[in-house]
Structure 1
């Protein structure tokens, strides 16, 4: 796996693997259910992904949107392709909502609502929270 995938905690954060993409639980949660959708390829330009990865992106987003709607009942879903520090192709998937969410004794607010997500204001997942969120999300991702 590429360095970007490893930086986001792979294999501990892996929720689902597709042929070209990995769905990872984002270790820092600006909102509950934040994910990383990471290309398994070593490319650093979106346009350089193989055609199969572009085709499979539709499947990956359908899986993610259904699972997160069920898990966190988001109002909007932001896909952010930033790739400034972590160069390999990936998206930060941030569920957006106005009211706070509670999960496993932790409160998750959307500090940026209704504007740009505040990625710096995030709940850092410890092993217990990561395990509990993953246990709820994995079955929803199929």
Structure 2
């Protein structure tokens, strides 16, 4: 009798162990899927927050003073700002993003933005359309302002 009781206890113990292991594996798979979804959502939120300062210029109309403020605001950041004035200038400020996938040194002279006799003059009362430029990785690389 003692041998059969020990055998039953051993069998029950094995079934309980297998059941617990199956239960743990099942919930680990569910938790891993949930963690992946949460990580992807977090990455999307992080990207959106990083791009937020630039997105206010997405397909909007702004004044020349807002263009100048954008150039000042984004100084030192990894972005290019292109300004096409009504006088025909096409200047890059901060960085040149002509080749959208690689930024180079900008050629725009900031002093000319304020010089009314320069083609690069940004009229504070002028109307500009703004457009966001993205690279092949869908990262914002530049803002383009074109005077109407």
Asked if TM exceeds 0.5, the reply is no
Between Structure 1 and Structure 2, the one with more helix by share is 2
Normalising by structure 2, we get a TM-score of 0.23
Normalising by structure 1, we get a TM-score of 0.24
Which of 1 and 2 has greater Rg? 2
Q: Of the two structures, which has the highest relative contact order with CA contacts closer than 8 Å and spacing of 6 or more?
A: 1
